[in-house]
Structure 1
Amino acid sequence: MSSLSKLPIFFVCPPGLEDVLCVEARECGWSDANAVPGGVEIEGDWSDVWRANLNLRGATRVLVRIGSFMAFHPAQLDKRARKFPWGEFLRPDVPVRVNSVSKKSKIYHAGAAKQRIERAISEELGAPIAADAEVTVYVRIEDNRVTLSIDSSGETLHKRGHKSAVGKAPMRETLAALFLRSCGYDGTQPIYDPMCGSGTFVIEAAEMALGLQAGRARSFAFEKLATFDPQLFANETRDGSNAIDIMFHGSDRNAGAIESATANAERAGVGAVTAFHQAAVSDIQRPDGSPGLVIVNPPYGARIGDKKQLFGLYGAMGRRLKEEFRGWRVGIITSDSDLARATGLPGLENGPPIPHGGLKVRLFQAGPL
């Protein structure tokens, strides 16, 4: 396939945040980006696939649709899968795994369909099939149409490659980036997280401000595909970062969390513009400089500890924010609107429910205080 051929490319994100990711995709140069349930669609070539994995902060993975055909019974699926030009996309020396789903189709057994696709790949291309393969082919059968996609990312894109230490109930980097954008964060304001844990919000905000590529420190599944060109890919990677004169702050009552956050920031290359210190939420102090955004992912009760105790915690945080952080905006992620209201922050507005760690959470925004 020519490198100029356009393919449908799908950026996956949590339901409820498609419009936020769509704005990011358009800012990255994909003017035709279109928000659809579960993510964002574009048309592009393989360099767009590489660039999306490297640069998009909100996408969980990047899927590439490589073809489709109709199949009404297993023998037809078998025949058409064997005729498919697997060698244009997959390498015979790289293991592959296959995931399949079937809806409203005569081929209703997804497991049997998976086996036929696996056999076509192994016998026609010669590629080994392995359950732990980095390269995944997705097979979706709906209304008797078989759609084939490749996951170009491999490990989910929240794994930036520089965080080794995480605390309880961590916020994924991709979700943190989308919540920051939802708060109107554009990289020009300071950030403060008073319950910073392993530092995800602070580090993500600093990387956004510095203009660092999200995937600069990791590898991707697309590097194992037949379509990969290392020299062209090198043109998509960049060294260096923007010069900024703002700081990004985090605090936590747990000394271990502060150690982890500091180490994670150093590994991410943002140690010079981040500062973490130990403090209870009732003792937090506004950093020097202009107002910015306080963003926090406090415990929800459904996950850590007893909910009754949390009303006091949220109340203490709200009082301290109103006393200390005049002019700052606030974003609170929680699964419980009663807890959000317990902060007493004025004019709280809540966003759509977002799946996170088996719960539905919302972003509550207030301010400027």
Structure 2
Amino acid sequence: MTEAPFEIFLSTAPGLEPYLLEETQELGFHEAKAMTGGVSFMGTWPDVWRANLWSRGASRVLARIGSFRAFHLAQLDKRARKFPWGDILRPNVPVRVEATCKKSKIYHDRAAAQRIERAIHETLGAPITKDASLRLMMRIDDDLCTFSLDTSGAPLHQRGFKQFVAKAPMRETMAVLLLRACGYTGTEPVLDPMCGSGTFLIEAAEMAKGFASGRARSFAFEDLASFDSAAWETLRAAAKPNDPDQKFIGFDRDTGAVKGANENAARAGVADVISITHQPVSNLNRPDGPPGLVIVNPPYGARIGTKKPLYGLYASLGERLKNNFSGWRVGLVTTEADLAKTTGLPFIQPGPPIAHGGLKIKLWTTTPLP
């Protein structure tokens, strides 16, 4: 019997949906569509596995496993007990349930969640625990109850390699989508003059090498009834890494960050193509070889220190890039438009703001510098 397709949703920070859509379609999910907060397409459980394994930009992969209408709690309870939980969940795997209610006759989130918990436990036997790694989400909107499973477990930015984390870190998933927003496809050199823990460089190098982003971690879908361990191992083994020609170059004025970033790169298996050394922005020079992308996430003043001393830093960065990096493109991440403009670089009008750790950042980009 052929498995019926269901909706698969890849989540991201609002503002990054077009770049996640681009990646998702490149992975072969050609019918994918962007919507607020992510990308949606129809697929089956092997597609869920592949999306978790290969999507570098998604924060999570959610599976929409079913829905029904309910107008009161008794009806919710009755229909939840008829739902085929055994086709999806295992009786020996703990589950936690989260519920949200909007514009519905059932308006009490916790009461709704309790009905689902009781139905799962009493019809399937699965334990209900608050700290279970397997998360079932129910959304009741206009009296329609929709169930989604978080098939990722730990957020997908947790690749398993970045043990050293610098101040104000950027998540790997966001770094990937910002690289894509700069036009990076894995075929050119990348330079980060303030690399911190090396996230931009490591992700760019992994893209160039063709590494699967989820190759070293586990996922929540491995605890589902639909999981086929032999098929999963076959899928994991199908990856065929490349041997890129270009280099990935990083600098930081903090010697601790340089050491930590190099260790992160080694754990990720990309140390052979990455060079990260100690250097201030004022000494930045063009590396040998063809032009590529300079991408930088400098301090904003909103989180580290104050804003006023940063004008000199941004001005110095802009001066070094204008004088030494002809032909290179630039991508700069900041919360502050006036700091970006202080560089004097010919930025294109940035896109919408992107939520990042309680702040709203924008990506400022250039075409190849004159």
Amino acid at match of 1:223: E
Q: What secondary structure is seen at the aligned counterpart in 1 of 2:309?
A: helix
CA distance in 2, matches of 1:264, 1:243: 19
CA distance in 2, matches of 1:50, 1:35: 20
Q: What secondary structure is seen at the aligned counterpart in 2 of 1:327?
A: coil
Q: Counterpart of 2:167? A: 168
Q: Counterpart of 2:303? A: 303
Query: Where in structure 2 are the equivalents of 1:1-369 lying within 5 Å?
Result: 4-238=3-237, 239-369=239-369
Amino acid at match of 2:262: T
CA distance in 1, matches of 2:240, 2:255: 32
Task: Kindly provide the CA deviation profile for residues 75-123 of structure 1, in whole angstroms up to 9, marking residues without a partner as x.
Answer: 1111111111111111111110111111000100111111111111111
CA distance in 2, matches of 1:286, 1:215: 33
CA distance in 2, matches of 1:177, 1:80: 42
Q: State the 1:264 CA deviation.
A: 0.3
Q: State the 1:326 CA deviation.
A: 1.4
Amino acid at match of 1:258: V
Task: Kindly provide the CA deviation profile for residues 110-145 of structure 1, in whole angstroms up to 9, marking residues without a partner as x.
Answer: 111111111111111111111111100000000000
Question: Which aligned segments of 4 or more residues in structure 1 are displaced greater than 3 angstroms?
Answer: none
Q: What secondary structure is seen at the aligned counterpart in 2 of 1:307?
A: coil
CA distance in 2, matches of 1:96, 1:292: 47
Q: Does the 8 Å contact 1:21/1:40 carry over to 2?
A: yes
CA distance in 2, matches of 1:94, 1:167: 36
Amino acid at match of 1:165: F
Q: Does the 8 Å contact 1:341/1:348 carry over to 2?
A: no
Q: Does the 8 Å contact 2:151/2:219 carry over to 1?
A: yes
Which blocks of at least 5 consecutive residues in structure 2 are unaligned? none
Q: What secondary structure is seen at the aligned counterpart in 1 of 2:314?
A: helix
CA distance in 2, matches of 1:110, 1:78: 14
- Number of residues paired by the alignment? 368
Q: Does the 8 Å contact 2:347/2:364 carry over to 1?
A: no
Percent identity for Structure 1 against Structure 2: 59
CA distance in 1, matches of 2:194, 2:348: 19
> TM-score, normalising length from structure 1?
0.98
CA distance in 1, matches of 2:91, 2:288: 58
Q: State the 1:258 CA deviation.
A: 0.5
Q: What secondary structure is seen at the aligned counterpart in 2 of 1:150?
A: strand
Task: Kindly provide the CA deviation profile for residues 15-35 of structure 1, in whole angstroms up to 9, marking residues without a partner as x.
Answer: 111111111111110110001
Amino acid at match of 1:213: A
Q: State the 1:3 CA deviation.
A: 5.8
Q: What secondary structure is seen at the aligned counterpart in 2 of 1:65?
A: strand
> TM-score, normalising length from structure 2?
0.98
CA distance in 2, matches of 1:349, 1:257: 32
Q: Does the 8 Å contact 1:98/1:138 carry over to 2?
A: yes
Q: State the 1:288 CA deviation.
A: 1.3
CA distance in 1, matches of 2:2, 2:332: 44
Amino acid at match of 1:116: R
C-alpha change, 1:3 and 1:313, in structure 2 (3 Å) is farther
Q: What secondary structure is seen at the aligned counterpart in 1 of 2:343?
A: coil
Q: State the 1:235 CA deviation.
A: 2.0
Q: State the 1:240 CA deviation.
A: 4.3
Q: Does the 8 Å contact 1:3/1:45 carry over to 2?
A: no
Amino acid at match of 1:175: M
Q: What secondary structure is seen at the aligned counterpart in 1 of 2:362?
A: strand
C-alpha change, 1:98 and 1:193, in structure 2 (3 Å) is same
Q: State the 1:327 CA deviation.
A: 1.0
Q: What secondary structure is seen at the aligned counterpart in 2 of 1:226?
A: coil
C-alpha change, 1:357 and 1:87, in structure 2 (3 Å) is same
CA distance in 2, matches of 1:349, 1:134: 42
Q: Does the 8 Å contact 2:156/2:214 carry over to 1?
A: yes
CA distance in 1, matches of 2:342, 2:131: 46
Q: What secondary structure is seen at the aligned counterpart in 2 of 1:360?
A: strand
Q: State the 1:316 CA deviation.
A: 0.8
